[in-house]
Amino acid sequence: MSAAQERDALELRVLEALATVRDPEIPPVSITDLGIVEHVRVSEAAVEIDLLPTFAGCPALDVIREEAERAARREAGSRVVSVRFVYSPPWTSDRITPAGREALRSYGLTPPGGHDRRTFVALASLGRAEGIAPCPYCGSEDTVLESAFGPTLCRTTHFCRSCRNPFEAFKPKLPGS
């Protein structure tokens, strides 16, 4: 194997290792499915990983960085592993993969809507934010937004009028105004 091939192979193994790292606030979702792994760079002596924070104030970021470092180190051999957060491009919720969306749903969190954020807000300000997030439990669209804020920075809170469960959804974070 040439040096370049070896580096490519290692990059893949590191990515696979990162796919085992979970967001501690949403354990079923891996950080690769969350779309926060922006770059893995393998060089002669180092493995450098760039992550994008979901929300700047997310308290799980340090844990994620440590776990990512530990996972990469298992593959990196003698190479030095460094993990850092970068801010460009900004992370947006449309980076979550289909598998990540399914994992969110399985955890009882409605995946972030592809709906226009302005609709979301306009409805919310009128107190008529209905049907903007389907219920993760029964699938009903007969739901109402309780608040654009929730127990963590990345969640909104809702109520399902069909199965009468309160539930949470992943907060949409999309570009454009």
Partner 1 sequence: MTNDPRLTLALALADDELVLGHRHAEWTGWAPHIEEDLAFSSIAQDEMAHARLLYELIGRSDGRDVDALAFGRRPDEYRHAVLCERPNRDWGFSIARQFLYDTADAVRMEVLAESSWRELAELVGVIRLEEKYHVDHAQAWFRRLAEGPLEARQRFADGLATALAEAVAVFEPLPEEEELVSKGVLTVSSEELLALWLGQLGEALEAVSLDYVLEHHGPVGGEMVPTSTGEIEAEREALEVPGIVRRDGRWMHEGAFAGAGGRRGKHSEDFEPLWEEMTTLYREHPGATW
Q: Which residues bind partner 1 (CB under 8 A)?
A: 53, 55-58, 87-92, 117, 121, 124-127, 146-151, 153, 157, 171, 173-175, 177
The residue (of 60 and 71) whose beta carbon lies closer to partner 1 is 60
Tell me which DSSP letter residue 139 carries. -
In the complex, the smallest distance separating the C-beta of residue 124 from partner 1, rounded to whole angstroms, is: 6
The dihedral sign for the CA sequence 153, 154, 158, 162:
negative
- Of the pair 140, 157, the CB lying nearest partner 1 is at 157
DSSP state of 7: H
Q: Judged by CB, which is closer to partner 1: 4, or 126?
A: 126
Nearest approach, Cβ of residue 160 and partner 1 (Å): 17
CA distance 126 to 108: 26
* For partner 1, the closer CB: 92 or 165: 92
**What DSSP string describes 90-137?**
PP-GGGS-HHHHHHHHHTTEEPPP-S-HHHHHHHHHTT--BSSS--TT
